[in-house]
Amino acid sequence: MHMADALLSPAVGTTMYIVSTAAIARSTSKIKLDVIERKIPLMAVTGSFIFAAQMINFTIPGTGSSGHIGGGMMLAAMLGGYPAMLTLSAVLLIQALFFADGGLFALGANLFNIAVIPCLIVYPLIYKPILKKGIDAKRLTIASILSAIVALQLGAFGVVIQTLFSGVTALPFAAFSLMMQPIHLAIGIVEGVVTALVLNFVYKTRPEILDDAIETKGTKPKFHLRKLLIGFGIASLLIAGGLSYFASVNPDGLEWSIQNVAGVSELFSNASIHAFFAKIQELTSFLPGYAPSNDPNGTGLAGIIGSLITFALAGGVGVLIYVVKKKKIKSTSA
């Protein structure tokens, strides 16, 4: 479910970063620092554990395919929602930086889909209420499976929405959802079962871990969420209103091509969902487009040749730097 940078537009990526940053800020403010001090090793090692566990593939029965656990619900069950949010944030950051597993700019979106949803939404709304009357094997199993399924479904849906909003894929919403949701349902069921098995095992051997996590009450936050949301709303208006002033009125390549083929500069879709996304695109496109070529027949070939020249130049510069450095090293060592 880790999204790459290339699947997001700057507007969507920035928005998700703001949302995830707010979630991290809220999680940090809700954690009692004196209580969490003794929990830090547990948080770090469970984070590493989730990281390692994600590398263990298991076969999904009946599908012939394999998957791996996400770990959000498992972490939340063992640490509590807010500590799990921070732990998963550290894990996702390591994956983005060192493994190219999820882009750095897409980190905000990945944090939302993989950490915020299970830890801050599903955990308090589904997992905790089921265990309200006490922890036992049956309730733990039901809570784990149900929470994992819902978290994975919502996370996968988040990927669909973010990719569609970014305008990167031509895949229709229905087709994209039909591809993503069922496979993540299968993964969610398996993750739920694995989470249930692990949590039951942990509860048998170290019950205080789960008891402690579910009883942890947060502190009164040092800032008010309402103020943060108001600030976010004002910032969004300023960005949208201010930067849209610089939007180009010239037709882009696609509009220009459509103009020449269909006689209109835009194709109008009857589907309301396309109109909705088109409006979003219109509001969030804040960098101007290009002056199109006046010769459509030559554009492609000239573009390819130009690109090859660019690549050759870049490669040549790289080789030149390498040669010069080698000579320098030889002359200093001689």
Partner 1 sequence: MVDVRSKIHEIYTLEQLSSGRSVIHDLHPSVKILATFFYIVLVLSFDRHTFFALTPFIFYPVLLMSLSDTPYAMILKRVALALPFSLFAGLSNVFFDQATMFTISGLNFSYGFVSLIVLLFRTFLCVAAVLILVAVTPFTQITAQMRRMHIPDLLVTLFEMTYRYLGSLAEETSVMIIAYKLRHNSDKGIELKDMGSFVGQLLLKSIDRAEHVYNAMKCRGYGRYDRKRRKRSLKFNDYLFLLLAIGFPLFFRFIDLNLLFQPWIMKVTLC
Give residues 129-158 in contact with partner 1 (rule: CB under 8 A): none
Helix H or strand E encompassing 59: strand 58-59
Is residue 276 part of the contact set for partner 1 (CB under 8 A)?
A: no
- Please tell me the distance from the alpha carbon of residue 245 to that of residue 262, in angstroms, as a whole number: 29
Alpha-helical runs (H) found in 54-136: 72-79, 81-98, 107-111, 128-130
Among positions 238, 315, 327, 328, the unique one binding partner 1 when judged by CB under 8 A: 315
Question: Which tokens is 117 given?
Answer: 């949803």
> Under a CB-based contact definition with an 8 Å cutoff, are residues 46 and 87 in contact?
yes
Does 212 interact with partner 1 (rule: CB under 8 A)? Answer: no
Asked whether position 269 contacts partner 1 by CB under 8 A, the answer is no
Angle between the N-to-C axes of helices 207-215 and 173-205, in degrees from 0 to 180, rounded to the nearest 10: 120
Distance CA 28, CA 218 (A): 10
Q: Which residues, 157 to 176, sit near partner 1 by CB under 8 A? A: 163, 167-172, 175-176
Nearest-angstrom CA–CA distance, 188 and 193:
8
Q: Between residues 41 and 134, which has the closer beta carbon with respect to partner 1?
A: 41
As given in the structure block, the two tokens for residue 254 are: 């696609």
Which one, of 1, 7, 5, 299, lies nearest residue 170 by Cα?
7
The count of residues interacting with partner 1 (CB under 8 A) is: 106
Nearest-CA neighbor of 1 among 150, 101, 119?
101
Residue 218 in the binding site for partner 1 (CB under 8 A): no
Among 23, 36, 115, 154, binds partner 1 (CB under 8 A): 36
Nearer to partner 1, 125 or 262 (CB): 262
Stretch that binds partner 1, among 1-9, 123-131, 145-153, 217-225 (CB under 8 A): 1-9
Residue placing its CB nearer to partner 1 in the complex, 279 or 328: 328
CA distances from 269 to 47, 174, 272 (A): 46, 16, 8
User: Could you give the CA distance from residue 102 to residue 3 in angstroms, rounded to a whole number?
Assistant: 5
**Sites for partner 1 among residues 47-106 (CB under 8 A):** 47-49, 51-53, 55-59, 61, 66, 86-87, 89-91, 93-94, 96-101, 103-105
Query: CA 77, CA 87: separation in Å to the nearest integer?
Result: 13
Q: Which amino acid is at 227?
A: K
- Taking the least distance from each CB to partner 1, the nearer of 90 and 130 is 90
Contact between 207 and partner 1 (CB under 8 A)? no
Closer to partner 1 by CB, 125 or 283: give it.
Answer: 283
Is 216 one of the binding residues for partner 1 (CB under 8 A)? Answer: no
Min separation Cβ 65 and partner 1, Å: 11
Task: Name which of 94 and 280 has its Cβ closer to partner 1.
Answer: 94
Residues within window 280-309 making contact with partner 1, judged by CB under 8 A: 287-291, 293, 295-307, 309
CB closer to partner 1 out of 133 and 331: 331
